[in-house]
Amino acid sequence: MPLLEVRDLRLYYRTRRGVVKAVDKVSFDLEIGETLAVVGESGCGKSSMARAIIRLLPRNVHTYDGKVLMDGVNLMELDDERFRKEVRWRKISMVFQGAQNSLNPVLKVGYQVAEPLMIHYGMDKESALARAKETLKLVGIHEAFADRYPFELSGGMKQRVVIAMALVTRPKVVILDEPTSALDVITQANIMNLLKRLKGEFNLSYIFITHDIALASELADKVAVMYAGQIVEIASAETFYTNPNHPYAQKLMASVPTLRTDKKLDFIPGTPPSLINPPPGCRFHPRCPYATDKCRREEPPIVDLGEGHMVKCWLYG
Amino acid sequence: MSAYPVAAEFGFKAIVKELFSYKTGILAIALLLLLIGISVYAVVAIPYDEAVRLWRAGEMTWLKNPRNAAPVWIELFVGKKLPRTIILSSAKGEASKVKEGRRVVIEYSFDYSYDDFPSEITLFFSAKYGGEPPVVKVYWLRPDGEEFFLANYTLRSPDDKYYISNDFKLETRLETFIIKERLRGKPSFAITVERALFLAYTGKLEVLKGKYKMRLEATLASEGDDLDADLVVYGKVHGFTGTDHLRRPLSIALLWGTPIALAFGLTASLVTTLAQLVIAAISGWYGGKVDSLLQRITEVYMILPFLPILIMVSMFYKIDIWTLLVVVIVLSIFGPGVKTMRALVMQIKNYPFIEAALAYGASGKRIIFLYIIPRVLPLVVPGLISAVPSYVFLEAALSFLGIGDPNVPTWGKIINDAFSEGALYKGYFYWVIEPSIMLILTALAFSFLGFALDKIVNPRLKEL
């Protein structure tokens, strides 16, 4: 049984211009110790999906349903208070986009890392701080920094602190929402190595959200490609990077520059569709070179190509 | 020690340190220390109950103080040596007293070298008798050797007083005598008793300096009886602060006004600002109906007429300074501050670190008190400090309007007294200036502190 099962997860936002279908019937499984990389263009609903899983919703939610099963419990059925107490950080934690801003500037670093422990396990300050220092050491930060304020740390260090914060309660699933987007390449590499090491050490499962397909390959066991609020392809990393099946995924791969081969970079014509009023049928059809009349009329089914390789496309249906 | 030294260049100590790098900061701290020093001195030297008692005691306690006497430093401006109060007590041996049988002779003698006339002269008797009261003959001996017979006074009670200045018969007698026999013409000024006794016969209003004497010749009814008397020649200046219309030294109210003003201003400002901050944080954080409700309450509160409500409350309830404080706080909790602070909260609310806290399960309460308020606080503190004087002024203004605590001596009470006694009209300007200076000092101290703090915690202001 997979650790986390997401089925038909929907998250719609209400706006003045209409309902934004940010996450539309997304389903996937996550095994223990597995990393699922979620890739896609900006605004395709990656972060919204992460928020839907950890239930960090804005005020203007229109629809929020589906199933998120973990340890046999449907997390969607828990009320907010129970969700806050039992799920957040105990089972699922999250590393936010832009760690620079994810730390409270008026609290000392150590205290902030210790805070989830005090909130969730009712630990007293001393033992929580001791545990926080341990975790900081784990992510490669000297414990003396526990007494510093966030502004005294560099960007990479802050990112490490935020990761320590996500790990201090030893959750099973960590959602990484663009964890390295604001860092330089060297630091990025350091953080990726750290994440890899931690994953091995604690048998963590990651949901790694990024727009950087190359970066995703560093960590991913499985890759999910999102387009216009839907997952259009899920495949193991090997399959995906060598032989993507969905036309969108193919185009996406073709647009990634490579270091040694001299290839002409491909691009996808058109613009991502509006999530308020998505195209009928397959959402990719206006930009798809293989689009048929069927694609324009009917929504494609999710086709199972075996070994967990799923593609949402009429080409395979 | 760890390999990494823990930096401590921030926090309270650092702010205080930085305060000293600004002139306004130094000035503010100096003024504040002065005010705190005065407060501590007042509280230690005159306990609260004692202060209230002294202030409310009425004229009896302060009988031997001159009425409406200016402070001593007024001489700097007048350029004359103004008379101090001279008190000579026969009981304390400050006058020669001879008792022979039923006859008592008391002789006071003092040097009078001031440039102005005394304000009043009074004899305070303290006699001991069974049957008939003593009869006292009062004589006045001037430095030029002239002797006036003042009165033949029969005591009406053992602690009777002879108000020499108020003896109109004596006044007429002396006036006629001086005009006819000494000046030989009517002078340009009126001759009162004090003037008659101390006048140099030059035709101008001048004091004859030198050694004066007063002799009392008392006849007792029996040998067992006794008589003592205090001669008080009231001056025109008194102490460092002067006295008011009830002869009270203003220093009591000026001294005690300081801790009261500081306590009132600080408490009101602190409680109001913090309460507003909490309300703003709750309103901004929870949003929705809570926000609407709190904002509507604020708007209603903001149009409530402050003074009429206070006047109404003071009509129905016995108001002392602390209930006044409570009423002021209650009336200002939902002030315009709620609006501005809410705007700040709304801004901070959307910062990623708040979202992160929310994600790792921090409760709303925790986020408000640990995440939002500490962020808004530095922006609010200078305002808090600068608001202190406005509450001090408010208290003074309320006292002035008669909505203050009638018992407690405050600066506002002094101004109120001064106003109702027509101080400025009568030229007792010290009476208004002294409490005003204290108010201004308080305002300056806190304003300067506010300015300096504003520069420190909102560094962008430095560039302006």
Tell me: the pLDDT tens digits for B372-418? Answer: 998 888 888 888 998 999 999 998 888 888 887 877 888 988 998 89
Q: What integer pLDDT is reported at residue B176 of this predicted model? A: 92
Q: What integer pLDDT is reported at residue B8 of this predicted model? A: 44
Residues 358-417 of chain B with CB under 8 A from chain A are 358-363, 366, 370-371, 374-375
Decide if A154 is inside a domain: no
- 8 Å CB contact of A56 and B7: no
Q: Which residues does chain A have within 8 Å of residue B10's beta carbon, measured at their own beta carbons?
A: 149
pLDDT of B121 over the 90 cut? yes
pLDDT of A224 over the 60 cut? yes
Find tokens 């300081």 and name the residue. Answer: B258
Adjacent-strand bridge partners of B15: none
CA separation for the pair B389, B35 (Å, rounded): 13
Q: What integer pLDDT is reported at residue A126 of this predicted model? A: 92
Residue B450 has φ and ψ, to the nearest 5°, of -60, -45
If asked whether residues B339 and B305 sit together in one domain, one would say yes
Lowest-confidence segment of A68-82, A97-111, B220-234, B429-443 by average pLDDT: A97-111
pLDDT of B4 over the 50 cut? no
Distance from CA of B462 to the nearest CA of A (A): 21
Decide if A25 is inside a domain: yes
- 8 Å CB contact of B2 and A143: yes
Q: What integer pLDDT is reported at residue B141 of this predicted model? A: 94
Q: What integer pLDDT is reported at residue A84 of this predicted model? A: 86
If asked whether residues B296 and B434 sit together in one domain, one would say yes
CA separation for the pair B215, B149 (Å, rounded): 10
Structure confidence at residue A121 as a pLDDT band (50, 70, 90):
confident
The predicted model gives A227-243 an average pLDDT of 92
Decide if B77 is inside a domain: no
Q: Which residues does chain A have within 8 Å of residue B351's beta carbon, measured at their own beta carbons?
A: 101
Decide if A206 is inside a domain: yes
If asked whether residues B343 and B226 sit together in one domain, one would say no
Q: Which residues does chain B have within 8 Å of residue A84's beta carbon, measured at their own beta carbons?
A: 361, 363
Using an 8 Å Cβ cutoff, are B24 and B386 in contact?
A: no
Q: What integer pLDDT is reported at residue B267 of this predicted model? A: 94
- Residue A294 at interface with chain B, using a CB cutoff of 8 Å: no
Tell me: the pLDDT tens digits for B213-258? Answer: 999 999 998 888 899 999 999 999 998 999 988 888 999 899 999 9
A116 sits in which H/E element = helix A109-121
State chain A's mean pLDDT as an integer.
89
- What CATH number does residue B200 fall under? 2.60.120.380
If asked whether residues B184 and B220 sit together in one domain, one would say yes
Structure tokens, A53: 């899983």
If asked whether residues B49 and B89 sit together in one domain, one would say no
If asked whether residues B256 and B230 sit together in one domain, one would say no
Sheet bearing B226-234, strands edge to edge: B86-89, B226-234, B120-128, B161-163
Decide if B88 is inside a domain: yes
Closest CA to B211 of B114, B109, B122, B288: B109
If asked whether residues B310 and B436 sit together in one domain, one would say yes
CA separation for the pair B64, B239 (Å, rounded): 13
Percent of chain B's residues with pLDDT above 90: 51
pLDDT of B3 over the 50 cut? no
Angle between helix B23-45 and helix B12-19 axes, rounded to 10 deg: 110
Using an 8 Å Cβ cutoff, are A167 and A198 in contact?
A: yes
Tell me: the pLDDT tens digits for A140-188? Answer: 999 899 999 998 898 889 989 999 999 898 899 999 998 887 788 898 8
Structure confidence at residue B448 as a pLDDT band (50, 70, 90):
very high
Structure confidence at residue B460 as a pLDDT band (50, 70, 90):
low
Which of B234, B257, B286 marks a domain boundary?
B234
How many structural domains is chain A composed of?
A: 1
Closest CA to B83 of B198, B225, B224: B198
Decide if B400 is inside a domain: yes
Identify the closest residue of chain A to B356 by CA–CA distance. A102
Q: What integer pLDDT is reported at residue B463 of this predicted model? A: 57
Q: Which of A85, A102, A166 sits opposite B353 (nearest CB)?
A: A102
- CB count, 10 Å around CB of B279? 21
The predicted model gives A248-257 an average pLDDT of 88
Residue A200, SS3 per DSSP? helix
- Residue B7 at interface with chain A, using a CB cutoff of 8 Å: yes
- Which residue type does A246 have? H
Q: What integer pLDDT is reported at residue B1 of this predicted model? A: 39
Which of B209, B234, B259 marks a domain boundary?
B234
For residue A210, the enclosing domain spans 4-91+171-316
Tell me: the pLDDT tens digits for A153-163? Answer: 988 899 899 99
For residue B140, the enclosing domain spans 83-234
Evaluated on CA atoms A119, A124, A129, A132, the torsion sign reads: negative
The predicted model gives B18-42 an average pLDDT of 91
Distance from CA of B8 to the nearest CA of A (A): 9
CA separation for the pair A223, A241 (Å, rounded): 9
Percent of chain A's residues with pLDDT above 90: 44
Structure confidence at residue B10 as a pLDDT band (50, 70, 90):
low
Evaluated on CA atoms A155, A160, A163, A165, the torsion sign reads: negative
Structure confidence at residue B6 as a pLDDT band (50, 70, 90):
very low
Decide if A140 is inside a domain: no
Structure confidence at residue B266 as a pLDDT band (50, 70, 90):
very high
The residues, any chain, with a CB within 8 Å of residue A234's CB and separated by 6 or more, are A28, A222, A223, A224, A225, A308, A309, A310
State chain B's mean pLDDT as an integer.
88
- Residue A120 at interface with chain B, using a CB cutoff of 8 Å: yes
Decide if B67 is inside a domain: no
- 8 Å CB contact of B356 and A96: yes
Task: Give all strands (DSSP E) within A31-78, no chain letters.
Answer: 35-39, 61-70, 73-74
Using an 8 Å Cβ cutoff, are A129 and A164 in contact?
A: no
If asked whether residues B257 and B137 sit together in one domain, one would say no
Angle between helix B429-457 and helix B250-286 axes, rounded to 10 deg: 30
DSSP per residue over A14-43, as a string? EETTEEEEEEEEEEEEE-TT-EEEEE--TT
If asked whether residues B20 and B133 sit together in one domain, one would say no
B439 to B25, B46, B241, B394, B432: CA distances (angstroms): 19, 21, 15, 11, 11
CA separation for the pair B241, B434 (Å, rounded): 8
Which of B180, B206, B234 marks a domain boundary?
B234
CA separation for the pair A172, B359 (Å, rounded): 15
Q: What integer pLDDT is reported at residue B2 of this predicted model? A: 43
How many structural domains is chain B composed of?
A: 2
Using an 8 Å Cβ cutoff, are A12 and A61 in contact?
A: yes
CA separation for the pair A176, B323 (Å, rounded): 56
Structure tokens, A255: 């647009």
Query: A-B interface: how many C-beta pairs under 8 angstroms?
Result: 76
Using an 8 Å Cβ cutoff, are B294 and B282 in contact?
A: yes
If asked whether residues B284 and B378 sit together in one domain, one would say yes
pLDDT of A309 over the 80 cut? yes
The predicted model gives A181-207 an average pLDDT of 90
Q: What integer pLDDT is reported at residue B462 of this predicted model? A: 57
CA separation for the pair A155, A147 (Å, rounded): 17
- Residue A86 at interface with chain B, using a CB cutoff of 8 Å: no
Structure confidence at residue B321 as a pLDDT band (50, 70, 90):
confident
If asked whether residues B349 and B373 sit together in one domain, one would say yes
- Residue B1 at interface with chain A, using a CB cutoff of 8 Å: no
Decide if B124 is inside a domain: yes
Q: Which residues does chain A have within 8 Å of residue B373's beta carbon, measured at their own beta carbons?
A: none
CA separation for the pair A57, A202 (Å, rounded): 29
- CB count, 10 Å around CB of B450? 21
CA B178 to chain centre: 42
- What CATH number does residue B304 fall under? 1.10.3720.10
Adjacent-strand bridge partners of A177: A209
- What CATH number does residue A210 fall under? 3.40.50.300
Pairing of strands B120-128, B161-163: antiparallel
Q: What is the ipTM of this complex?
A: 0.75
If asked whether residues B356 and B390 sit together in one domain, one would say yes
pLDDT of A100 over the 80 cut? no
The predicted model gives B281-286 an average pLDDT of 93
**Helices vs. strands in chain B: H and E counts, helices first:** 17, 9
Decide if B241 is inside a domain: no
Decide if A144 is inside a domain: no
CA A267 to chain centre: 24
- Which residue type does B153 have? Y
Decide if B7 is inside a domain: no
Structure confidence at residue A87 as a pLDDT band (50, 70, 90):
confident
Q: What integer pLDDT is reported at residue B338 of this predicted model? A: 93
Decide if A29 is inside a domain: yes
Structure confidence at residue A10 as a pLDDT band (50, 70, 90):
very high
